[in-house]
A and B are shown apart, each in its own frame.
Chain A
């Protein structure tokens, strides 16, 4: 049994799985259920100034479905908590008292003025909460009022607000970043420069789910109109992983603790975030789609994985894959992969053939000696991985590196010597060796 205990900014939790600041963490009732189910921590749904905001009384959520109506992508237009501040503070205090071993972070969103932070931060800290998460990410509603992603999109604002908060805060401060920017690094660096102890990411992406095909309006809609929402769920995980990895590997931000968020549904998703530099992970959509019980698989799936890999604790996994992330220009152009189809596993659906034939390199047969047979033509295969991606049978098609001989496509001899774009003769700005 690996040790799943996680220490993040000195805050301990029995496992690295926290519920993200969102509807599941809006009330003591839900949070009690989450802790009973085994969640390691929660980030309380974002508190704002009194009087509280209001929500629409129509649809707040929309979804993109895959096979069998599995939710692949999810969006919401819910705002921060719409309950009175005093109610939230009282419940936070009770929860922390009842669950001392769990991490309890409070999300907060305040206007861009120092007095607000000076007024509200001490009130929140007084509950005994373990830390604060500054919501600079919500892309809908609050951003129209100069908060949420309106702050997160301007590094100077991030730094300023983080600094105001840090000036009064005694507990650790996490800045939650918006992905609705072109480059995550200035935002992360601004948080660090403002004194934040950590970043969490990603918040949701600006999105419209679809139209109503009968009414020809945006869907979902409230009384015929809708507004863009924040997109999340499994579909956004790759975007989140990229941003997490960029922060973990960039000189200006490396070492800044990260709480990873974005589409985590099972333990493998958590491994992705942890290996790319996050120390804890936060979950919302999966809980909202399946309920809190998914924590069982998250916990023992990760536990079994750590055991299998010989890691004694979660912390040993953190950042393990970061060194493998690099810029395109440093990829070894001498390396040659070829796809290989395991004929024993092949079910002869022909998907690999038709996608290669129609859209790529004409490198997979459809018939051999008159019989339906799919095999890779090495002389055409560029190793692009498209066939692997579309094959319905896992591990039927694999990429195999050539280690010797000649690449039948290019006629070049396979070499173990590495060579990348920086020295490539076609690169006008190449390094002279």
Chain B
């Protein structure tokens, strides 16, 4: 590589605070009361509603919308949250365009679904704003359950267990609960610290003990938990990051997208974050979109997503892809990195090769390269856990009730096989596991 290039351009404060605030404003601002009533009126109150079938948590969508129509917002929120305690977050982050809203019969009628996600937010926002209690605990059973991981799966499981009268303890290695809701999701999808407010609401039920800063494998073992608790739920997610498969692939300038996003989410003054002028993102999922759009929002000049296959293969929905493009992100398809060019100990350019035409290559200059090619369970940190659980494609194998291969241990969220890597699926896993645990604890 030529060495007459300027120094790598990575610094903070590319944009003013005002610009950054605007760029990180709510991606989908909440509906006004008028908008909500008009959209609620568009719901046909379908029989055996396709939207409900399409919702991983099975929320009775026509009913909650009918309750918006009738001015019964509290009842509406109850209908949502009794199936999905994270209905507030899911209203913000669910890819509704491929779930409930894709199933809406209005698509067949006029190609424009009822805005279910925004209506769900409209119904639930007042509950979290006013901290309205909607759930009560059943009489205490005295049974204890260890919940490993304080993300959506673990919190959903713990909340349901507490409702049913059991005493869950949540073990979370990080300082805050919430998992990817707190550390992972793009900031403009959940502004105003909503993730933390939702966690607070969930814990407000009572009966949920939290042990933050405690990691499975480091501070406590699965064997101990099984001994000390009546049941164990594993929802530790995907703490490991997949590699590019290149030699020396982590020089300075190459960053795990999830790590940067976590830092970004925790940073109160985003103008302080260092941002590259030329940013490349490798990957095709939601994390790739999120890091690309957020880099742009922080002031990166050129942001390019490079994905090894075609647009239709990307895990990010078409809506998300278009969103990234509208925000000024370039997407290059059918190519993968072949070599990183490092200068003065820092990545300065990447050579890509076509995955379709052998021998075709191109080079892109880069100040920061983000890896966003998926996460994996960090088994090496879980001290023998992998050895006693049956796995499938490196994730935990579970049955329909989210039972693992060992008695008394359930699992859910991103760490199980067949998981959809969605908040809403994780919530459903936690709920189903809690119901299964409850059945066992009451039966025994």
A: which residues have CB within 8 A of B?
Answer: 67-69, 347-351, 353-354, 366, 372, 392-393
Can you report 20 A-B residue pairs in the complex whose CB atoms are below 8 A from each other?
A67-B41, A68-B37, A68-B41, A69-B37, A347-B105, A347-B106, A347-B108, A348-B46, A349-B47, A349-B105, A350-B47, A350-B48, A350-B49, A351-B45, A351-B47, A354-B48, A366-B47, A372-B48, A392-B109, A393-B109
Chain B residues with CB under 8 A of A350: 46-49
CB proximity to A under 8 Å, residues B24-60: 37-38, 41, 44-50
Which residues in B have their C-beta under 8 angstroms from that of A366? 47-48
The reply to whether B105 and A348 form a contact with Cβ atoms under 8 Å apart is yes
Task: Using CB atoms, name the residue of chain B closest to A396.
Answer: B109
Minimum CB distance partner of B48 in chain A: A350
**In chain A, what residue has the closest Cβ to B106?**
A347
Measured CA separation A67–B41 after assembly (Å): 6
Nearest Cβ on chain A to B101's Cβ, whole angstroms:
15
Known: A68-B38, A347-B108, A393-B109. Is A372-B50 also a contact (CB below 8 A)? yes
CB B36 to nearest CB in A, in angstroms, measures 12
Complex alpha-carbon distance, A176 and B48, angstroms: 50
Chain A residues in 8 Å Cβ range of B46: 348-351
The answer on a CB contact under 8 Å between B47 and A347 is no
Interface residues of chain B, those whose CB is within 8 Å of chain A, are 37-38, 41, 44-50, 105-106, 108-109
A354 to B44 Cα, complex, angstroms: 12
Please determine whether B108 and A348 come into contact, CB atoms closer than 8 angstroms.
Answer: yes
B109 near A347: Cβ-Cβ < 8 Å: yes
Nearest 7 pairs between A and B by C-beta?
A350-B47, A354-B47, A347-B108, A349-B46, A347-B105, A349-B44, A349-B105
Residues of chain B contacted by A67 (CB below 8 angstroms): 41
Question: What's the minimum C-beta distance from B285 to chain A, rounded to whole angstroms?
Answer: 31
- A sample of 16 more A-B contacts (CB under 8 A), given A347-B108, A349-B105, is A67-B41, A69-B37, A347-B105, A347-B109, A348-B46, A348-B50, A349-B46, A349-B47, A350-B46, A350-B47, A350-B49, A351-B46, A354-B47, A354-B48, A392-B44, A392-B109
Chain A residue numbers with a CB within 8 Å of B49 are 350
B44 and A353 within 8 A (CB): no
The interface residues of chain A lying within 8 Å CB-to-CB of B105 are 347-349
Contact of A351 among B41, B44, B106 (CB under 8 A): B44
Contacts of B45 in A (CB 8 A): 351
Kindly state the separation between the CA atoms of A350 and B50 in the bound complex, as whole angstroms: 10
Give the residue name and chain of the B residue nearest to A350 (CB). B47
A348 vs B49: C-alpha distance when bound (angstroms): 9
For A391, give the chain B residue with the smallest CB separation: B44
- Which residues on A sit within 8 Å (CB–CB) of B50? 348, 372
| Minimum Cβ distance to chain B for residue A211 (Å) | 14
List, in ascending order, chain A residues with CB within 8 A of B106's CB: 347
Q: How far is the CB of B281 from chain A (nearest CB, A)?
A: 39
The closest CB in chain B to the CB of A67 belongs to: B41
Report Cα–Cα, A67/B48, bound state, in Å: 23
Give the CA-CA distance A252 to B45 in the complex, in Å: 48
* Bound form: Cα–Cα A102–B45 in Å: 48
Cα separation A354 to B49 with both chains bound (whole Å): 11
Complex Cα distance A348/B44, Å? 11
Q: Which residues of A contact B48 (CB under 8 A)?
A: 350, 354, 366, 372
Most chain A CB within 10 A, of B44, B47, B105, is at B47
Q: Which residues of B contact A348 (CB under 8 A)?
A: 46, 50, 105, 108
* CA distance in complex: A357, B44 (Å): 17
Q: How far is the CA of A393 from the CA of B46 in the complex (A)?
A: 13
A5 to B161, CA, bound (A): 76
Min CB distance A341 to B, Å, is 14
**How far is A22 from B8 in the complex, measured between Cα atoms in Å?**
79
Complex Cα distance A392/B47, Å?
13
Per the bound structure, the CA–CA distance linking A348 and B54 in Å amounts to 15
In angstroms, Cα B34 to Cα A68, docked, is: 9
CB proximity of B41 to chain A, nearest CB, Å: 5
Give chain B residues whose Cβ lies under 8 Å from the Cβ of A69. 37
Shortest distance from the beta carbon of A65 to any chain B beta carbon, whole Å: 10
- A354 CA to B37 CA in the complex, in Å? 24
Tell me which residues across on chain A come within 8 A of B108, comparing CB atoms.
Answer: 347-348
Q: In the docked arrangement, what's the CA distance between A228 and B109, Å?
A: 41
Bound form: Cα–Cα A351–B37 in Å: 21
CB distance from B401 to the nearest CB of A (A): 25
- Tell me how far the C-beta of A207 lies from the nearest C-beta in chain B, rounded to whole angstroms: 22
Alpha-carbon distance A67/B42, docked complex (angstroms)? 8
Q: Which chain A residue lies CB-closest to B45?
A: A351
Which residues of B are found within 8 Å of A393, using beta-carbon distances? 109
Query: Which of A348, A351, A353: most chain B CB closer than 10 A?
Result: A348
> How long is the Cα–Cα vector from A68 to B36 in the complex, in angstroms?
10
Residues of A within 8 A of B38 (CB): 68
Distance between A347 CB and nearest chain B CB, rounded to angstroms: 4
- Chain A residue, CB-CB nearest to B108: A347
**Residue with the greatest number of chain B CB neighbours at <10 A, chosen from A348, A349, A353:** A349
Complex Cα gap A351–B109 (Å): 14
Report the separation of the CA atoms of residues A366 and B46 in the bound assembly, to the nearest whole angstrom: 12
Closest Cβ–Cβ distance, residue A4 to chain B (whole Å): 35
Provide the bound-state CA to CA distance between A372 and B105, in Å.
12
- Chain B residues whose C-beta falls within 8 Å of the C-beta of A354 in the assembled complex: 47-48
Separation of A354 and B38 alpha carbons in the complex (Å): 24
Q: Which B residue's beta carbon lies closest to that of A357?
A: B47
B31 → chain A, closest Cβ, in Å? Answer: 14
In whole angstroms, how far apart are the Cα atoms of A68 and B49 in the complex? Answer: 23
Closest to B53 in A: A372
CB-based nearest A residue for B38: A68
| A400 and B106 alpha carbons, distance in the complex (Å) | 26
Q: Which residues in A have their C-beta under 8 angstroms from that of B44?
A: 349, 351, 392
CB-nearest residue of chain A relative to B107? A347
Cα–Cα, bound, A353→B38 (Å)? 26
Complex CA–CA separation, A367 to B5 (angstroms): 67
Q: Nearest residue in A to B62 (C-beta to C-beta)?
A: A349
In the complex, what distance in Å separates the CA atom of A348 from the CA atom of B38?
Answer: 22
Q: How far is the CA of A348 from the CA of B109 in the complex (A)?
A: 10
Contacts of A351 in B (CB 8 A): 44-47
